[in-house]
Amino acid sequence: MKPYEVLVFDWDGTLMDSEHRIVTCMQLAAADAGLPVPDEASARNIIGLGMREAVTALFPGLEPDAVGRVIEAYRDHWLGDRIPASRLFPGAERVVRGFAGQGYLLAVATGKSRRGLDRVLEETGLGDCFHVTRCADEAHSKPHPQMLLDILTDLNTDPRRALVIGDTEYDMQMADNARVDAIGMAHGVHASERLLRHGALTVLQHLEELPPWLEQKTPRKTEQQG
């Protein structure tokens, strides 16, 4: 018996190595808006949040219109060709397709916009692997559990039969708020200690460590199991 039925992946920093692109786009957007350019550490820290929440975290007290201008500038840079495109982490495609072939229900819960996620799903060719996806412009941003709860509802899955895989404390907190297990990925933006502190069962160094970890995991009991 599989330890989980549903595997919910974060995208940026978990499946795709997009840290440099996100940080650079945010720095350029701030400059375009006439705001202080955030340093790399500050820009990295907001990866995983929805765009409005990310901009507000970087620039507390910014008027809504100004927040919107930063977001539009960010999207212009993201959709442009000035910054090199992001790539999937090594082994990501193999791992995702392997899980799909084993009958897992796969989902994505991401701080990306719907437009942004659909674009990378098409570019990577992984769109057919995921049964459900949720984005930050369709629900409350992480760490609010709405994206995850929507996924569980759509897939008719008990929270104890799902696992979140992410690279930020926001992923871990979202899972905890929905009473779902979560594990961290060390190749993302938040340190392993931070992920463990916010509820990760463990932190893996590489995505290819996930299949053997699952093979050794004991299923959690659901209400139906007693």
Q: Does this model's pTM top 0.85? A: yes
Reported as type and span, the H/E element at residue 203 is strand 203-204
Domain check: are 56 and 162 in the same one?
no
* pLDDT band at 222; cut points 50, 70, 90: low
pLDDT for res 81: 79
Catalytic residue list contains 12 = yes
Q: Which of the following is catalytic: 12, 167, 171, 181?
A: 12
Identify whether 72 is part of a domain: yes
Domain check: are 11 and 43 in the same one?
no
Q: Count how many domains the chain has.
A: 2
Distance CA 226, CA 221 (A): 7
pLDDT for res 224: 46
Q: Which of the following is catalytic: 10, 167, 171, 181?
A: 10
- For residue range 62-77, list pLDDT tens digits in order: 999 999 999 999 989 9
Domain check: are 110 and 155 in the same one?
yes
Identify whether 158 is part of a domain: yes
CATH number for the domain that contains residue 164: 3.40.50.1000
User: Structural domain of residue 196, as residue ranges?
Assistant: 6-17+87-216
Distance CA 79, CA 221 (A): 44
Catalytic residue list contains 39 = no
Of 29, 53, 79, the last residue of a domain is 79
Is a pLDDT exceeding 80 seen at residue 178?
yes
pLDDT for res 217: 82
In the numeric block, the tokens 């460590």 are attached to 209
Phi/psi for 98 (5° steps) reads -65, -45
Distance CA 134, CA 34 (A): 32
Instruction: Specify burial of residue 24 (Cβ count, 10 A radius: 0-12, 13-18, 19+).
Output: middle
Domain check: are 96 and 196 in the same one?
yes
- For residue range 8-60, list pLDDT tens digits in order: 999 999 999 999 999 999 999 999 999 999 999 999 988 988 899 999 999 99
Identify whether 224 is part of a domain: no
Domain check: are 99 and 190 in the same one?
yes
CATH number for the domain that contains residue 32: 1.10.150
Of 79, 102, 130, the last residue of a domain is 79
Phi/psi for 164 (5° steps) reads -100, 135
Average pLDDT over the chain reads 93
Identify whether 117 is part of a domain: yes
Domain check: are 40 and 134 in the same one?
no
Q: Are 180 and 159 in contact (CB under 8 A)?
A: yes
Within 13 Å of residue 132, how many CA atoms lie on the same side as its CB?
19
- For residue range 100-126, list pLDDT tens digits in order: 999 999 999 999 989 889 999 999 999
* pLDDT band at 226; cut points 50, 70, 90: very low
